[in-house]
Chains A and B, each alone.
Chain A
Amino acid sequence: MAATKPRTLDINVHYITRVEGHGNIVVNAQNGVLEQCDLEVIEAPRYFEAMLRGQPYQNAMHITSRICGICAVAHSTTSLRATEKALGVELSPQTILLRKLNYHGEMLDSHVLHTYMLVAPDLVGVGSVIPLAKSAPEVVLRALRMKKLASDLCAAICGRHTHPVAMTVGGFTHFPSKSELLSLRERLEATRADVEATIELFQSLKLPHFERETEYVALYKDDEYCFIDGVIKSTDGGEWPIEQYRQITNERIVDHSTAKHTRHQRASYMVGALARFNLSHNQLQPKAKEAATALNLKPKVTNPYLNTVAQVVEIVHCVEDAIQLIDQLLERGVMWEEPAPPTRLTGEGTGSCEAPRGTLFHNYEIKDGYVTGANCIIPTGQNLANIEADMRTLVPTILDRSQADITQQLEMLVRAYDPCISCSTHMLEVKFV
């Protein structure tokens, strides 16, 4: 690949901070020619799929929630959907509402962490959230307030946010009281001031300008901004049932990574908030649409750095949608329900949800109530090839900059994807050779 400037890069940075886990970015440019630009995931595989084999189906959710402490509700919900489809479990309307509400709690929690704690330090020129807390305590305290609300929302619905205990196949084992829902509603309304301040903060921060056309993939429903179930949709055209996930992901092994790469209609694709925004912006809550306009986010967005801004838009959506879901639950009245029972104990099912950082698939084969096969494809794994493609396009355009600046741009690019390498395996240490 030819670069535009006659430059030789020899940078070796260990540990990019503010991403989850460890890996390497290897960039090799000799006399202006980019010879290597890889994202190496170097962590050992975690074998969750193997751990599931032989387990009673009821255990699958509890085991797979441990794939990630941040996406625990996403993994739990996806696991439950895979199990429920395999065993013919039909959910009640109340369960569906409670799961959606619960899911908004996790999305809020994760997006607040990423936008404030992991990305904002880059944009205000400090090394981490610790100096940010010293220089702008009100910003970090706002993030902690929003995170606390998100965590309490999950605790009210699923027992606790990290590794939920009250979600089960077919429903819940715990139900929020009317007073808990009213209290949450009041706090969600009060948090609108923090949400407004979040929009203003990101209006004031300048993100790098970098455009690259790619394929965006997300779950989709006509009548809602889809986080759970739906169909798989691509900005390159086409819709597929979740069960055909293998035709979308096309996992393959690459030499330089312990995490598999994926490809669909192009050499790579992107999942996550930006993909969801590009595909489902019409289904956003009105206030979230207003936020997108205020943040100058117009589909189709092809700047991956703006994934963080799409997350801010989703923060608005989740708060507004959570209020509406609580209203629906209050109107119906939350009743104690037995979990819906399996109609069979043998079958295969695929669950899919939009984890905060993109589309997540779990596929289980169950025989006589025991898991006999499992396949989990997580969002960061799907994004790895696209991150590399971005890097290969970006680096030649910035070869005239200082080594430190190039390094920072690459670190920020990877962070923009909000990678969760503990899910795929792990991540990142930058190494230029």
Chain B
Amino acid sequence: MSDLAILALGNPLRGDDGVGNAVLAELDRKYKLSPGVDLLYDCSSGDVLDALLGGRYRKAIVVDAAELGRRPGEWMLFNLQNAVLSGIDMAHCGSLHDASLAETLALGEALSMKMPEIVIAGVQPQELRWSTEISEDVRQSIPEVCTAIYQELSTN
């Protein structure tokens, strides 16, 4: 039974926003992941809700394009103890049709739900435009991101 999940957030039709899917595809292709690791492509808010609040996973790695204030293609692995995901007002937050990762986690906290350990792999995008192509800088970072995720998996 799987107790680790790697989630790809982002829209693959929006250029570098599809980096999550590309990372998962590379992990699947190049690494022998154990059957205990679920690769969850194309995650929308509902999928994130299900994966993170469903009590199914011990640990989840979320891969997405992220505004890190860095150069395109630079990436970081971080956890929720050293990052603020969003400054939105949780008391009047938006729509669960399009809930953010921060809103999903706030809901879990409000319900006192057991959540997995969450690690975020954020990649600085070059541009989010209508395209199925990922920019060269971001593409070149994918092997490094995969290596870091694989090492992160092997620490548990």
Contacts and interface: CB of A to CB of B under 8 A. Distances in A.
Contact of B107 (A15, A69, A133, A422): A133
Contacts of B49: 144, 147
B78 interface: no
Contacts of B53: 144
A198 to B, nearest CB: 16
B113 to A, nearest CB: 9
Contact of B91 (A109, A117, A128): A128
Contacts of B106: 130
Contacts of B1: none
A44 to B, nearest CB: 10
A20 B98 contact: yes
Interface of B is mostly: helix
A131 B91 contact: yes
A161 B46 contact: yes
Given A131-B91, A148-B54, A66 B13 contact: yes
A422 B95 CA distance: 12
A163 B44 CA distance: 9
A226 interface: no
B47 A118 contact: no
A201 interface: no
Contact of A66 (B11, B46, B107): B11
Given A66-B13, A134-B110, A129 B96 contact: yes
Given A69-B45, A161-B46, A127 B98 contact: no
A422 B42 CA distance: 17
B95 A20 contact: yes
B91 A140 contact: no
Nearest to B42: A163
A126 B92 CA distance: 8
Contacts of B94: 15, 17-18, 128
B91 A69 contact: no
Given A69-B44, A140-B107, A20 B97 contact: yes
A15 B93 CA distance: 10
Contact of B90 (A130, A137, A148): A130
B105 to A, nearest CB: 11
Contact of B46 (A17, A51, A109): A109
Contacts of A420: 97
Contacts of B111: 133, 137, 140-141
Interface residues of A, number: 37
A117 B97 CA distance: 9
Contacts of B16: none
A18 B93 CA distance: 7
Interface in B74-93: 90-93
B130 A69 contact: no
A151 B46 contact: yes
B99 to A, nearest CB: 9
A14 to B, nearest CB: 11
B26 interface: no
Interface string A143-163: 010011001000000001111
Contacts of B110: 130-131, 133-134, 137, 140
Interface string B1-27: 000000000010100000000000000
Contacts of A160: 42, 47
Contacts of A17: 92-95
B67 interface: no
A140 B47 CA distance: 17
B144 interface: no
A148 B50 CA distance: 7
A231 interface: no
Interface in A153-201: 160-163
Contacts of B103: 130
A113 interface: yes
A137 B112 CA distance: 9
Interface string A19-59: 11100000000000000000000000001000100000000
B97 A113 contact: yes
Contacts of B44: 69, 162-163
Contacts of B97: 20, 69-70, 113, 118, 420, 422
A117 B98 CA distance: 12
Given A17-B95, A20-B97, A148-B54, 11 more contacts: A15-B94, A17-B92, A17-B93, A69-B97, A69-B98, A70-B46, A113-B97, A118-B96, A128-B93, A128-B94, A137-B112
28 contacts: A17-B94, A17-B95, A18-B94, A19-B95, A21-B98, A51-B13, A51-B130, A63-B13, A69-B97, A109-B46, A113-B97, A117-B96, A118-B96, A128-B93, A129-B107, A130-B91, A130-B103, A133-B110, A133-B111, A137-B111, A140-B107, A144-B49, A144-B53, A147-B46, A151-B46, A151-B50, A162-B42, A162-B43
Interface of A: 15, 17-21, 47, 51, 63, 66, 69-70, 109, 113, 117-118, 126-131, 133-134, 137, 140-141, 144, 147-148, 151, 160-163, 420, 422
